[in-house]
Structure 1
Amino acid sequence: MTDKQTAAGRPRPLEGVRVLDCSTIIAAPFGAMLLADYGAEVIKVEHPRGDGLRLSGPQKNGVGLNYAFYGRNKRNIVLDLSSADGQQILRDLAAKSDVLLENFRPGVMEKWHLGWEQLHEVNRRLVMLRMTGFGQSGPYSARPGFGTLAESMSGFAHINGHPDGPPTLPPFGLADGIAGLSAAYAVMLALYHRDLHDGEGQMIDIAIIEPILHLMGAQASVFDQLGQIQQRTGNRTHNNAPRNTYKTKEGRWVAISTSSQAIAERVLRLTGRPDLVDEPWFASGGERAQHADLLDAVVGGWIGERGIDEVMRAFAEAGAAVAPVYDISQVMEDPQYRSLGTITDVPDAVLGPVKMQNLLFRMSGTPGEVRHTAPALGQDTDEVLGEILGLTPARLRELHEAGVIEPMVAKRPGGTGR
């Protein structure tokens, strides 16, 4: 089996695509990870200090578990881009690559002579994705930008939470994740156009404040045409009811959706109020939402008198939509997730097998594969620069001694080093 094949011996869809991941933290690195999962050769280019995500969040035996996930399936090199030698090495790598992702503030890459115009001149086929909080232009472009700011400015926080509570931010990198998914999609569009049409790459500008706004649905159209601004409704929605979370007899929680009329009718018949189905207002999801207090009282009362197993069984028999509210330990034990292989064991040089989310989706002909967690800082530097650029051991020693490709922190135990 070659490194370009899955364990099943089938090719990965992006084999032969080389990606330089010069980004840090979550959004753009997540996009690069998705490309790596499906076979792209992704080379993570880190500053000698390392990506700040290495030290962010839970750790075990010196391994940052967040970084182990977002850096998986990548090769890793150290390169000081503020040095002339580092800049030249990146230009040389870009000349032999298909994609470069970066998330520095606008103007930083240009200061290093690594902007779009310079890299496009070096490699006309290169696709360059630039990820920033606010985009490459506009009055906010120079501001530091993070997912939290996008979750706030997009209107997400405004509609998230209970009516009598404050705007509520998500407890994870929601906007970053959405931007990362968008990045992978944008890169594939650019590669497809390059290879099918004129053979040239292009520059992609992603502002983290925008992809999450798209997921907010038709709010702009609703405001434009009706003057309405969506407000916080907790677990409820203006579109249908009952739709909420409900506590069972033993204190577990379940969530119910009645997006279809047939499901709403089944729920009310199941919970002992078939008479409500015959009410004129029940025939419309929007009108049902105006009677959410009544419907929640009926459904919540019925669920509160029963254990979760009985609730789940009764809803399944009635053909109604319900799901338990899980924490991560319950996700990992659920038979449906197990059947899909949603959580997989990934080898790590220090920790051994590490459980993490598997591939985002399954492909029958050219599947991807999660091969390893994030490598140590600079673990592949000498190999990559020797293999791709033909740098000699003597030249590599010079660059190490000059600090251009030398990590400032110790490599992880078990890493191959140099």
Structure 2
Amino acid sequence: MIHQFNESEKGPLDGVRVLDLSRLVAGNMLTLFLADFGADVIKIEKDGKGDDLRSWKESDEPIYWKIYGRNKRSMILDLKSEPGRQALKKLASHADILVENFVPGGLEKMGLGPQVLLEANPKLVIVRVSGWGQTGPFSHKPGFGTLVEAMSGFSYLNGHADKPPTLPPLALADMIAGVYGAAGVLTALRAAEKEGIGQVIDLSLFEPIFSFISSEALKYQLSGVPTMRSGNQSSHTAPRNVYECSDGKFVAMSGSMQSMALRILDTIGRPELKVDKRFHDNDARVEHRDELDLIIGDFIKQKTQQENLALFEAAGVTVGPVCSVADLVDSHYIQRREVMVQLQDDDLGSITTHNIVPRLNRTPGHFFRAAPSLGQHTKEIIKQFGLENML
């Protein structure tokens, strides 16, 4: 079924207006969340090519923009011109949230710093996205997710010990920051509603992704040794790995609880290992995880992926298939839950994308409008806010 966009729907954030001056991933991830739940997100873009996310293409189609630009409006505005800056200030006076990701100080150079914007609208929530934060010794540096993923410690942990540190295959730091940013915005918006005063949110790319691995800092404090990459294994529980099946497919397994680990040993027909000093508790299994993986891997290698899944699921073992997106498209789970949906698209007829996350049972989000073409709503917005004499 192809879902149709319906601009007449109302979401729980109906009436919340967002000016999105950001480019690429973090800001778009943040404002996508707000837009999916009904906020009026106005993308402020420069003439010519607009948001750089439009240039990330596959088969000459701007697939990232089609997905992360949905439910938003687009306006062309030249912030380097005085009329453009004055128009933005007027728009800000009617907005609840403004999102930007210039190098720190960029807004100030244009005469649009937080003090100016908050004078125009004291309740405004201003989100300042940057690689390293608005303060500190790196604040002046441009920040890209790749650099943050490397410096945060994430890439050092990711991959195998005998290989170089591994970067994630997607804009992970940006996306994590976008989700954190959405939470921060809604918190600040609630405060503004109660107190009548807006504020500035300093959202770096570095701190959100570091928070995902911050237990490593305490671990280092206690041990004095940074955790080395361990592939698909875990440094603190065992068994946990990806195992190859006889048909060349893979399954993932986790025995992070003692009861589950013992159940795995029963299921592979090795109950005697439950009292083996190498495997009788989690500390022992972690120390001897390579030996344990060989035993489990040899068992799994004798059966196909489906045979393994059926056997372990019947025994109540936490196991699952390793899937490609091709596997997911035909997955019974994906189809029945509508994890992926088909949305109407003027260029392709329809596009496959993720559904709205999370699912609110009483005030859900909606598909309001397709990702806009560059400047699609400029005239509409100029008229709506009485900017005719300014632009």
Assess same fold via TM > 0.5.
yes
The residue correspondences of 1:183-332 to structure 2 (distance < 5 A) are 183-196=181-194, 198-332=195-329
Please state how far the C-alpha of 1:279 moved relative to its aligned partner.
Answer: 2.2
Please state how far the C-alpha of 1:216 moved relative to its aligned partner.
Answer: 0.6
1:51 aligns with 2:51: yes
From 108, 127, 130, the equivalent of 1:129 is 127
**How far, CA to CA, are the matches of 1:216 and 1:373 in structure 2?**
36
Contact 1:22 1:45 in 2 (8 A): yes
**How far, CA to CA, are the matches of 2:283 and 2:119 in structure 1?**
56
The residue correspondences of 1:361-372 to structure 2 (distance < 5 A) are 361-372=358-369
**How far, CA to CA, are the matches of 1:126 and 1:171 in structure 2?**
35
1:347 aligns with 2:344: yes
1:391 aligns with 2:387: yes
**How far, CA to CA, are the matches of 1:243 and 1:68 in structure 2?**
37
Q: Which amino acid aligns with 1:110?
A: E
Q: Which amino acid aligns with 2:187?
A: L
Aligned to 1:413: none
Deviation >6 Å, runs of 4+: none
Please state how far the C-alpha of 1:226 moved relative to its aligned partner.
Answer: 3.3
Say which is worse superposed, 342-351 or 121-130, in terms of deviation: 342-351
Alignment deviations for residues 110-165 of structure 1 (CA, whole Å, 9 cap, x no partner): 11111101000000010000000011122111111111111011100111110111
**How far, CA to CA, are the matches of 1:84 and 1:338 in structure 2?**
51
Aligned to 2:144: 146
TM-score (norm 1): 0.89
Q: Which amino acid aligns with 2:55?
A: L
Please state how far the C-alpha of 1:280 moved relative to its aligned partner.
Answer: 4.0
From 168, 176, 179, the equivalent of 2:177 is 179
Q: Which amino acid aligns with 1:316?
A: E
Say which is worse superposed, 221-230 or 148-157, in terms of deviation: 221-230
Aligned to 1:356: 353
**How far, CA to CA, are the matches of 1:332 and 1:285 in structure 2?**
37
**How far, CA to CA, are the matches of 2:369 and 2:86 in structure 1?**
30
Q: Which amino acid aligns with 1:27?
A: A
**How far, CA to CA, are the matches of 2:357 and 2:81 in structure 1?**
37
Please state how far the C-alpha of 1:225 moved relative to its aligned partner.
Answer: 3.4
TM-score (norm 2): 0.95
Please state how far the C-alpha of 1:370 moved relative to its aligned partner.
Answer: 2.7
What are structure 2's unaligned runs of at least 5 residues?
none
Please state how far the C-alpha of 1:176 moved relative to its aligned partner.
Answer: 0.6
RMSD: 1.6
Q: Which amino acid aligns with 1:351?
A: L
Contact 1:4 1:15 in 2 (8 A): no
Q: Which amino acid aligns with 2:51?
A: D
What are structure 1's unaligned runs of at least 5 residues?
6-10, 400-418
**How far, CA to CA, are the matches of 1:371 and 1:314 in structure 2?**
44
1:33 aligns with 2:32: yes
Q: Which amino acid aligns with 1:107?
A: G
Structure 2 counterpart SS, 1:69: helix
1:375 aligns with 2:367: no
Aligned residues: 386
Alignment deviations for residues 237-262 of structure 1 (CA, whole Å, 9 cap, x no partner): 12121211111111001111111111
Alignment deviations for residues 261-315 of structure 1 (CA, whole Å, 9 cap, x no partner): 1111111111121110122453432321111122111111111110111101001
Structure 2 counterpart SS, 1:336: helix
1:92 aligns with 2:96: no
**How far, CA to CA, are the matches of 2:59 and 2:20 in structure 1?**
23
